Amino acid sequence: MTKNVPAKTVGRLSLYRRLLRRLDARENPHIFSHALADLAGVSAAQVRRDLMTVGCGGSPARGYGVNELIDELSAFLDAPEAQNVVLIGVGNLGRALLAYFPARRPRARIVAAFDTDAQKAGRVILGCRCHAVSEMEEVIRREGVSAAIIAVPAAHAQDVAETAVRAGVRGLLNFAPVPLRVPAHIYTEDIDISTSLDKVMYFARAGFGADDVRND
Amino acid sequence: MTKNVPAKTVGRLSLYRRLLRRLDARENPHIFSHALADLAGVSAAQVRRDLMTVGCGGSPARGYGVNELIDELSAFLDAPEAQNVVLIGVGNLGRALLAYFPARRPRARIVAAFDTDAQKAGRVILGCRCHAVSEMEEVIRREGVSAAIIAVPAAHAQDVAETAVRAGVRGLLNFAPVPLRVPAHIYTEDIDISTSLDKVMYFARAGFGADDVRND
DNA sequence: ACTTGTGAACCATTTCACAGCT
DNA sequence: AGCTGTGAAATGGTTCACAAGT
């Protein structure tokens, strides 16, 4: 069924949904592609093409129905039932993620965390039970976890990724500053903060003329 | 001079440099494009093209000199002197970033942090002086800050971005889950953790056949 | 008059493939 | 024999532009 929607499109659809939810649908129950495009910082044609890709339609007279769109996007983006997620690495970043996620993402339940620090094993940190890394494979299997968030130092990232994949995880959100070598059918999203800062520092440098920077 | 190198290429160059630094140049003072490609998870042709773009050369016999490459990449990526950066928003994520960055990025000095919480103003958090947001414009000007890291809630992101830009910042690293509307000559890198998790959740779902997922 | 939906054109980026070097 | 450097081709993604709808 799913017609091979590009990752970039999925990303924008997630953004559209978030922006639409911030709108008060009572004030304005409909929105035109160019208005949503403005909010998202993309072109109107891009919005229409993205929505078309997942079968969302609007009317030339009124545009797209806000609530309708939110529901259709959710039907596309969300799995039928909530998906279980684990966090690997409960350092500074890991704790920030624990504080950030559970609140606003009820469809992705962080069911367990793992850390090599023996002090942390067994404790409950920010509402999330923390286990030793040695228990990871068993817990992931038992809980039917579909994705893992990797927030460990570079040196351990490949290792924990392999363990997670062996246990049946199908998606990885990788904050470690190294690319992971995993089988092709495992989806990996890298969030490389160091590289991002390098890019910002590079383009923030004085010396770019009229600034014809090609961003993506 | 700088010949309009695409942001994606700059990102990979930053990655190559990081990977090369992890190598022990004594063990292996030279590296072939396919070996570096393997480490970076890209094609060998990609590596050669990227290095060519910034004028790095190798020899068909030995490949590229590791230390030489690190130096050439640094000459390209780094500004002549260290650049000053500020952090806006000292919540959970902001503190994690403070703990993460200063250690490993000596070229990007986080010279100040800002928060609306009056409790934090004046204090030194993780080695970084924290100011009230009202002082932001003045501090950014005084310190000659070239980039800002935005780690505030969605509702405040546009506001603080505008203030930072008004004060002369040229690059933004945005962790808030909304796109920023800033002038075209300001480089913005969005790190949208919510969207990234949505993408992982989407592609981690069961039901993708032989997995012909188009990633980027 | 202003919109949506969409084939076609366009553009950026990646990969191919091979000449030239060692 | 195996590499680098690089035009040329291919791929993937975005924008154009316009027919059709209201």
Q: Quote the mean pLDDT of chain A.
A: 93
When scoring B12, B88, B125, B201 by the number of chain A Cβ atoms within 10 A, the one with the most, hence best to mutate, is: B201
Q: What is the rounded distance in angstroms from the CA atom of residue A115 to the CA atom of residue A113?
A: 7
Q: Give yes or no for residue B216 having a pLDDT over 90.
A: no
pLDDT digits (tens, 9 = 90+) for B95-122: 999 999 876 788 999 999 999 998 999 9
Residue A77: which of B171, B172, B202 has the nearest Cβ? Answer: B202
Q: What is the pTM of this model?
A: 0.94
Chain B: give the shortest CA distance to residue A56, in Å: 18
Q: Which residue is nearest nucleotide C6, judged by alpha carbon to C1' distance?
A: A49
Nearest CA in chain B to A198: B14
Q: Report residue A25 as tokens.
A: 């649908």
The vertex-A203 CA angle with A199 and A207, nearest 5°, equals 150
| Segment A16-59, tens digit of pLDDT | 999 999 998 788 999 999 999 999 999 999 999 999 999 999 99
| DSSP string covering chain A | ------HHHHHHHHHHHHHHHHS-TTT-SEE-HHHHHHHHTS-HHHHHHHHHHTT---BTTTBEEHHHHHHHHHHHHS-SS-EEEEEE--SHHHHHHHHHHHHH-TTEEEEEEEES-TTTTT-EETTEEEEEGGGHHHHHHHHTEEEEEE-S-HHHHHHHHHHHHHTT--EEEE-SSS-----TTSEEEE--HHHHHHHHHHHTSTT-SS------
**Structural tokens at position B112:** 């100040």
Q: Which domains does chain A have, with CATH numbers?
A: 7-75 (1.10.10.10), 83-195 (3.40.50.720)
pLDDT of A96 higher than 80: yes
- Residue B46's H or E segment, with its range, is helix B44-53
Q: Which nucleotides of C are covered by protein (CB under 7 A)?
A: 2-7, 12-17, 20-22
Residue B209: pLDDT band (50, 70, 90) is very low
Per-residue model confidence (pLDDT) at position B210: 41
Q: What is the Cα–Cα distance from A135 to A101, expressed in whole angstroms?
A: 23
> Is B187 in contact with A199 (Cβ distance < 8 A)?
yes
One-letter amino acid at A126 equals L
Q: What is the pLDDT of residues B149-207, one digit of tens each?
A: 999 999 999 999 999 999 999 999 999 999 999 999 999 999 999 999 999 999 998 65
Contact B164, B148 (CB under 8 A): yes
Maximum CA extent, chain B? 62
Q: Which of B47, B143, B199, B211 is the best substitution to test chain A (most A C-beta atoms within 10 A)?
A: B199
